């Protein structure tokens, strides 16, 4: 087995999982996670995200390859490694007859925390996840947002070095989701995190690295900035200030430019869609010159759309096209 690079929090090598000798859930995944990294694990349902996370924490045995955490190979018997990980599964479930205080105290006892450590940590966690008013209430009456916040507190009870959260915003209303994202941002300053999601705008907001799975294969792993750099930026909105007559003239001039496939004006907001092959800088320069000539002030300009989402879809589309080409070549041969 290859020697692990010292200092890596997570390292996988050709990690593969096949269920029932026929379903390939994960295929040949190699990735490395450095301390302080906040990795967004992206992929549609069934892409292999949960399988990868369960292999990393040792809930499943790999069919081939290996996963190391803190430099040691993870297995179902690696309780010492799992003590250093805070895990939230998708849709976490809790014993209905307990309260946040009794449940967190029970979990802290399982980790062997003495009372002098357990009690202040439990109190500070309940405050941190904003459950203080409900700390003595039965868990069965909790909303999805409250349950999600209790899951966060549970994952932090052992003061872990690595957090692995599987779809932490799943099923949350907008307010609860916002609260969860703010918690992740706070923790990202202190911990190494893996956050799995198919809500790509969440990943865009809280992560600095991304790994993209498609049909069990890792098709991208690197900085989020680089992933976004791969997307085609072809949709812009420009807010204008000036006389309506001049704005109408400008729109007519811009519609005549060959770089744009669609030019719309809604009140004083100009919406531009470029052709894929257009030179973005030159096209926008021409637009700005037209506005200047007609004495129209530019209030704001922005690239539109969820950039991570578009980059992700582009990647998956290209990977599937390559897969089809490989199958086609094999059939032809």
pLDDT tens across 287-332, in order?
Answer: 999 999 999 999 998 877 545 555 666 666 666 666 545 544 555 5
pLDDT tens across 25-34, in order?
Answer: 999 999 999 9
| 280 touches 290 (CB < 8 A) | no
Helices (H) and strands (E) in the chain, counts: 11, 14
Q: Bigger pLDDT: 232 or 9?
A: 9
Q: Give the pLDDT of residue 4.
A: 43
Q: Give the pLDDT of residue 27.
A: 93
Q: Give the pLDDT of residue 231.
A: 56
Q: What is the CATH number of the domain that holds 74?
A: 3.40.50.300
Strand ranges across the sheet with 10-19: 23-33, 10-19, 64-69, 72-73
pLDDT at 13 over 90: yes
| 183 and 132 co-located in one domain | yes
Judge whether 5 lies within some domain.
Answer: no
Judge whether 125 lies within some domain.
Answer: yes
pLDDT at 79 over 80: yes
Q: What is the CATH number of the domain that holds 290?
A: 3.30.70.100
Last residue of a domain, one of 224, 241, 273: 224
State the average pLDDT over residues 3-16: 82
Last residue of a domain, one of 177, 200, 224: 224
Q: Give the pLDDT of residue 331.
A: 53
Using a pLDDT cut of 70, give the percent of the chain over it.
Answer: 88
| 178 and 211 co-located in one domain | yes
Q: Give the pLDDT of residue 233.
A: 64
Candidates 86, 106, 69; CA nearest to 160 is: 86
Q: Which domain covers residue 326, as residue numbers? A: 230-333
Which of 38-47, 71-80, 225-234 is predicted least confidently?
225-234
Q: Which residues contact 310 (CB under 8 A, 6 or more apart)?
A: 231, 232
| 100 and 120 co-located in one domain | yes
The answer to whether the Cα torsion of 250, 251, 256, 258 is positive or negative is positive
pTM: 0.72
Query: Can you give the length of the chain in residues?
Result: 333
pLDDT tens across 203-234, in order?
Answer: 888 999 999 888 899 988 988 877 766 655 67
Judge whether 1 lies within some domain.
Answer: no
Rg (CA), the chain: 25
Judge whether 165 lies within some domain.
Answer: yes
Last residue of a domain, one of 224, 250, 281: 224
Q: Give the pLDDT of residue 200.
A: 74
| 234 and 257 co-located in one domain | yes
Mean pLDDT in the chain? Answer: 87
d(CA 162, CA 142) in angstroms, rounded, equals 27
d(CA 150, CA 128) in angstroms, rounded, equals 10
How far is residue 172 from each of residues 88, 140, 199, 206, 306, measured CA to CA in Å? 15, 17, 12, 17, 20
d(CA 43, CA 167) in angstroms, rounded, equals 11
SS3 123: helix
| 14 and 115 co-located in one domain | yes
Which of 31-45, 121-135, 199-213, 247-261 is predicted least confidently?
199-213
| 214 and 131 co-located in one domain | yes
Local confidence band at 201 (pLDDT 50, 70, 90 cut-offs): confident
| 299 and 182 co-located in one domain | no
Q: Give the pLDDT of residue 250.
A: 92
87: which strand partners? 164
pLDDT at 333 over 70: no
How far is residue 44 from each of residues 47, 75, 135, 191, 194, measured CA to CA in Å? 6, 27, 35, 26, 16
pLDDT at 86 over 50: yes
Candidates 127, 76, 82; CA nearest to 100 is: 127
Q: Which residues contact 137 (CB under 8 A, 6 or more apart)?
A: 99, 100
Judge whether 168 lies within some domain.
Answer: yes
Q: Give the pLDDT of residue 279.
A: 83
| 251 and 206 co-located in one domain | no
State how many domains the chain has. 2
| 45 and 147 co-located in one domain | yes
């Amino acid at each position: 087995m290859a020697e692990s690079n010292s200092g890596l929090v997570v390292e996988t090598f050709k990690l593969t999982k096949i269920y029932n000798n026929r379903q390939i859930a994960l295929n040949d995944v190699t990735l490395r996670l450095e301390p302080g990294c906040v990795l967004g694990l992206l992929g549609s349902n069934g892409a292999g995200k949960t399988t990868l996370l369960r292999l990393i924490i040792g809930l499943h045995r790999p069919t081939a390859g290996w996963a190391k955490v803190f430099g040691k190979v993870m297995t179902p018997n690696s309780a010492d490694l799992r003590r250093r990980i805070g895990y939230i599964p998708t849709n976490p479930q809790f014993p209905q007859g307990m309260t946040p205080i009794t449940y967190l105290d029970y979990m802290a006892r399982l980790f062997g925390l003495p009372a002098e450590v357990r009690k202040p940590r439990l109190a500070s966690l309940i405050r941190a996840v904003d459950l203080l008013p409900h700390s003595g209430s039965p868990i069965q009456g909790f909303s999805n947002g409250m349950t999600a916040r209790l899951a966060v507190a549970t994952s932090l009870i052992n003061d872990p070095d690595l957090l692995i959260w599987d779809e932490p915003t799943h099923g949350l209303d907008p307010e609860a989701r916002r609260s969860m994202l703010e918690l992740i941002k706070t923790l990202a300053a202190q911990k190494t995190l893996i956050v799995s999601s198919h809500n790509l705008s969440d990943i865009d907001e809280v992560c600095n690295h991304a790994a993209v799975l498609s049909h069990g294969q890792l098709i991208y792993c690197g900085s989020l900035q680089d992933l976004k750099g791969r997307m085609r930026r072809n949709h812009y909105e420009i807010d204008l200030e000036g006389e309506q007559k001049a704005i109408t003239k400008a729109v007519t001039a811009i519609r005549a430019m060959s770089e744009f496939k669609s030019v719309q004006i809604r009140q004083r907001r100009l919406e531009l869609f470029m052709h894929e092959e257009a030179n973005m800088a030159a096209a926008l320069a021409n637009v700005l010159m037209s506005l200047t000539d007609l004495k129209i002030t530019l209030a704001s300009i922005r690239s539109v759309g969820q950039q991570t989402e578009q980059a992700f879809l582009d990647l998956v589309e290209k990977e599937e096209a390559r897969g089809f080409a490989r199958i086609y070549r094999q059939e032809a041969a």
